[in-house]
Chain A
Amino acid sequence: MTPSASSSTGPVIEAHSIVKKFGGAIAVDDVSIEVYPGEIHAVVGENGAGKSTLMRVLAGVHQQDSGSVIVDGVKLEGGAKESIDLGVSLVHQELSLVPEMTVAENILLGSAPTTLGFTNFSEMKNIARSALEEIGVSVDLDERISRLSVALRQFVEIARAVARKPKVLILDEPTATLTPAETDYLLEMLQRLAGRGMAIVYISHRIPEVFRICHNVTILRDGKRVSVTAVAESTPEGVVDQMVGRELKKDLGSHRDATPSDVVLKAEGIRAPSVDDVDLEVRAGEIVGLGGLVGAGRTEIVRAIIGADARKSGRVTITVDGKTRIISSYQSAIRAGVGYIPEERRVDGLALTMTVAENINLPNRKELSTAGFQQTKKIRTFAQRLAEQVGLRPPEIKREAGQYSGGNQQKIVIAKWLGRRPAVMVLDEPTRGVDVGAKAEIHRLIKELADQGTAVLIVSSDLPELLELSDTIHVVRDGKIQGSIGHQDATEKAVMSLASGEKLVGA
């Protein structure tokens, strides 16, 4: 199908100079967008470019700090409810269905038709049925959501949005969890809806999808709009270039020269939810990076490898000093010398209301105690030494971890494991939400760790960081390693191409 924007009338939704800050940090910076009836408009950008925030502003979920959103000539002011009434429907990224209610009830959640307080089930089913018919999906209306596949849930979610008879339908990464056949179906459905005059805003990481169905594409980078062009006039390469397009890597350190030796961590045939037959090796002194888009399954891969989540099959071993141990559970991984810095440090990494010393003590408690009794003085000197080593500022170990900034909190998490001289260090998004200074320090720590012979496995969505640190980058998509790039050949473009499924570079 050749994309052609039908712009005989004015735009159905237009946003002017939207600025959205969280605290003092700018998430969306002076972005404008307009979408016409019948148009499918793509919004693309790297992880954290501000796409989702912009969509939430359009749907009234977030209130913008400045700028305006106008729907069909009416200025939006009153939040999510009013947006829905004016005809803007957002299909959320996270599934917002109630598992034990039926398909029909979920489609009309909170707005079921009633007579005298009693739900009018036949009318409810009629509305739900017509919404499902409109998107061309047939599901048993009385089935409970908990019994549906993930893909079907996604379609029910879309049906809910469609049932509100929107003029503008916003979809945030709807294909992330779908199979190719389901994706095909969804894309055709969107074209059909657009054909009937609905305006569709489509967020995706997947460039081929954009080129298949969209008319225009808005490219965001670091919260700013880089460009808006007609898809017919651009190329996939051009879009990826603009998404990545950093001028110079001036804030970056240089890559170190690695001298990897023996294989320490070896994973074979790992399968788990969102992980599809992954093989992986990390050598002593080597930093292996996992690149890919959010939702590609990188976190799931590392968690399955170290046993933090159950795996269906596969074998993981850690070899230190010629002794090989099988990793069957998280605790056995820790015993074998793994240190793990999880993605959600505030939820998984730190006990925020406990002190720095207590947090550092947690994984080291056995070494810092005698017969189960804590050696207070030993803990104090140990924690103090580590706090200074990681550059915690201020290095006050009796302060609660929650009182530190993001960067400092991450240093505490690193300090927890550093004292164990881990044989394997697994870091998931180690510098997310960390300021530039702390980031450089954390990079230094990771490099030092590798230089001392630790096998490092790192997940990062920050491309420059991944390139700077990694000796080898495995790019993950759909739970699989799609390709591996050595340090010499690694460029942002090469990683992004593999990650988004657009084979631009022969890798």
Chain B
Amino acid sequence: MAKESLTEQIALTEVVAQEAPKKTSGVGLWLTQNGVFLFLVVLAVFAAFFVNGFGSLDNVTNILNRAVPLGIVAVGMTFVVISGNYLDLSVVAQVATSGVIFLAVGSEYGLGVAALAATGAAILYGLVNGLAVGLFKANAVIVTLATTYIGLGLLRYFSGGSIFFGPPDGPMDVFGSGKVGPVPYSAFVFLGLTLVLSLVLTRTNFGFLVKSFGVNERATRLGGVNTDMVIVGAFLVTALAAMIAGFVFAAFSNTAVSTMAQGFDFKALGAIIIGGTSVFGGRGSVLRTLLGVIFVSVLDNVLTLLGFTFGFQQLALGVLILLAVTLDVLSRKLGQQ
């Protein structure tokens, strides 16, 4: 009853679309999708010439040390974004939980036990978030907002809100301060994880389904896919990455506290979007996120070196997110033409 006029229209417009299929192209489209490349190059060149201390090896190490924990979170969260579920706010709690577990449990019972406990916590986070969003069809922003507070509350309660220090020259400290040239060990972990997750997204059935779900949920379900489990999987990947980020972050400073990852949620999302992954889901890549993370970190660094404070960095990030999303919307419109 309700469909006749609609299908009539679709039917008719389709008859028109009989000409050979078009390939969309154009400079505008390329720019809107890959603008971050240009920005990054321009920024780096500018900084190398005009910003004092930007090119020094110490500064490169510094940028990397800051970029790595954020980046690990971001590459994981890319899965949630591509699945069309916006973001996982609870990474803030997840990173801190993992960091505190590694230092608190690790110094008592050894790293192996700590790793087990942290993995367990990560799986719990992934399951609760994933089931609430997948099975209960609840809004991901609100669900992960709730789990952030549940998680942080529990963490603060059990940790008493105190700062945990690792033993100096313990295995965590050794890893955290170790470098190859100017490149900290943790950067290799980041790179490795990025490659692995990139492989998962582009080469495995799971990654394929995450993307397919983001493009068209209904067609994916009608392809015989248990889509709830795809969502749970996406949140699990995010949680496990956040766990690793917690380890790396705690190792770097050899300290951990429940507030350590504040701001990671939005900053990671910022990096993902600026990298060019679509916030509407379905389009994006882990490697793009890597690029976005580098861009955000370099920008932060340049602003810091130029004497701009934290507030300006936040401001810049906010503007960049709006810009990136506006470009995303534009590129969709261009792509449709």
Direct contact of A and B (CB under 8 A): yes
Residues in A lying within 8 Å of B, measured CB to CB: 21-25, 27, 47-48, 50-53, 56, 93-95, 172-173, 176-177, 294-295, 308, 330-331, 334-335, 340, 342-344, 346-354, 358, 361-363, 365-366, 369, 372-374, 376, 394, 399, 403-408, 416, 429, 432-435
Shortest Cβ gap from B32 to chain A (Å): 15
Interface status of B266 (Cβ within 8 A of chain A): no
Produce 1/0 per residue, B1-20, CB < 8 A to A: 11111011111111111111
Q: A295-B2, A346-B10, A365-B205 known; 12 other A-B pairs, CB under 8 Å? A: A25-B16, A330-B221, A348-B218, A351-B282, A363-B224, A369-B204, A369-B205, A374-B208, A405-B14, A433-B7, A433-B10, A433-B14
B170: min CB distance to chain A, Å: 37
Measured in the bound complex, the distance between the Cα atoms of B21 and A374 in whole Å is 28
Residues of B within 8 A of A51 (CB): 4
Tell me the complex Cα distance, A21–B5, Å. Answer: 13
**A429 cross-chain contacts in B, Cβ below 8 A:** 7
- CB-nearest residue of chain B relative to A350? B219
Selected from B1, B13, B14, B212, the residue in CB contact (under 8 A) with A351 is: B212
With A176-B1, A405-B21 given, is the CB distance from A354 to B215 under 8 Å?
A: yes
**Pair A25/B13 contact, Cβ less than 8 Å:** yes
Within 8 A of A (CB), among B19-75: 19-24
Whether the Cβ atoms of B208 and A361 lie closer than 8 Å is yes
Closest to A365 in B: B205
* A358 near B208: Cβ-Cβ < 8 Å: yes
Q: A93-B1, A176-B1, A372-B204 are in contact. Are A22 and B12 (CB under 8 A)?
A: yes
Q: Are A335 and B11 in contact, with the CB atoms below 8 A?
A: no
Query: A404 touches which one: B5, B21, B205, B220 (CB < 8 A)?
Result: B21
In the assembled complex, which residues on chain B have CB atoms less than 8 Å from the CB atom of A407? 14, 18
Whether A48 contacts B2 by the Cβ 8 Å rule is no
> Which 8 A-B residue pairings sit nearest by Cβ, starting from the closest?
A406-B14, A295-B1, A23-B16, A334-B224, A433-B11, A176-B1, A52-B5, A22-B12
> How distant is B195 from chain A, measured CB to nearest CB, in Å?
15
Which residues of chain B come closer than 8 Å to A435, judged between CB atoms?
15, 18
Nearest CB on A from B22, distance (A)? 6
Bound CA span A406–B21, Å = 11
Can you list 10 A-B pairs with a CB-CB distance of less than 8 A? A23-B12, A93-B4, A94-B1, A349-B219, A365-B205, A373-B204, A399-B23, A403-B23, A407-B14, A433-B14
Contacts of A308 in B (CB 8 A): 222
Q: Considering the chains assembled together, what is the distance between the CA atoms of A24 and B9 in angstroms?
A: 12
Contact between chains at B8 and A358 (CB < 8 Å): no
Task: Give the distance in Å from the alpha carbon of A180 to the alpha carbon of B275 in the complex.
Answer: 59
**Contact: B216 with A351, CB < 8 Å?**
yes
The main secondary structure of chain B at its interface with chain A is helix
User: Are B215 and A434 in contact (CB-based, < 8 A)?
Assistant: no
Contact A406 B208 (CB under 8 A): no
Residue contact A416 to B282, C-beta cutoff 8 Å: no
Note all chain A residues with C-beta closer than 8 A to B223.
334, 362-363, 416
Complex Cα distance, B17 from A176, in Å, reads 32
Q: Which residues of B contact A403 (CB under 8 A)?
A: 21-24
- A48: nearest chain-B partner, CB-CB: B8
Instruction: Give complex CA distance A25, B17 in Å.
Output: 10
A-facing residues in B180-233 (Cβ within 8 Å): 203-206, 208-209, 211-212, 215-216, 218-226
A348 to B23, CA, bound (A): 23
B218 in contact with A432 (CB, 8 Å): no
Q: How many Å from the CB of A232 to the closest CB on chain B? A: 28
CA distance A361 to B9 in the complex (A): 30
Q: Are B8 and A52 within 8 A (Cβ)?
A: yes
A432 touches B22 (CB 8 A): no
Q: Which residues of A contact B221 (CB under 8 A)?
A: 330
Query: How far is it, in angstroms, between the C-alpha of A50 and the C-alpha of B7 when the chains are bound?
Result: 11
- Using a CB–CB cutoff of 8 Å, the interface residues on chain B facing chain A are 1-5, 7-24, 203-206, 208-209, 211-212, 215-216, 218-226, 282-283
CB closest chain-B residue, reference A297: B1
A399 to B219, CA, bound (A): 18
B209 proximity list for chain A (CB < 8 A): 365
Say whether B1 contacts A331, CB under 8 Å: no
CA distance A416 to B225 in the complex (A): 14
CB-CB under 8 A for A347 and B218, given A353-B283, A405-B19: yes
Interfacial chain B residues near A330, Cβ < 8 Å: 221-222, 224
> CA A435 – CA B15 in complex, angstroms?
6
Residues of B within 8 A of A294 (CB): 1, 3-4
**How many Å lie between the Cα of A354 and that of B15 in the bound state?**
22
Most buried by B among A95, A172, A353, A407: A353
B15 touches A433 (CB 8 A): yes
- Distance from B27 Cβ to chain A, minimum over Cβ atoms (Å): 20
A390 to B68, CA, bound (A): 49
Known A294-B3, A346-B10; contact A351-B19, beta-carbon cutoff 8 A: no
Expressed in whole angstroms, the minimum distance between the Cβ of A298 and any Cβ of chain B is 11
B212 contacts across to A, CB distance below 8 A? 351, 354, 358, 362
Contact status of A399 and B21, CB under 8 A, knowing A365-B208, A373-B203: yes
- B7, A432: Cβ atoms closer than 8 Å: yes
Q: Which of A24, A50, A335, A399 is the one whose CB lies under 8 Å from B224?
A: A335
State A294–B11 Cα separation when bound (angstroms): 15
Q: How far is the CB of B328 from chain A (nearest CB, A)?
A: 13
Task: Determine whether the beta carbon of B2 is less than 8 Å from that of A94.
Answer: yes
**A177 neighbours in B (Cβ, 8 Å):** 1
Contact yes or no, A348 B222, CB < 8 A: yes
Q: Say whether A93 contacts B2, CB under 8 Å.
A: yes
Q: Given A358-B208, A405-B14, answer yes or no on A348-B4 (Cβ-Cβ < 8 Å).
A: no
Closest CB in chain B relative to A43 CB, distance in Å: 13
Q: How far is the CA of A374 from the CA of B221 in the complex (A)?
A: 19
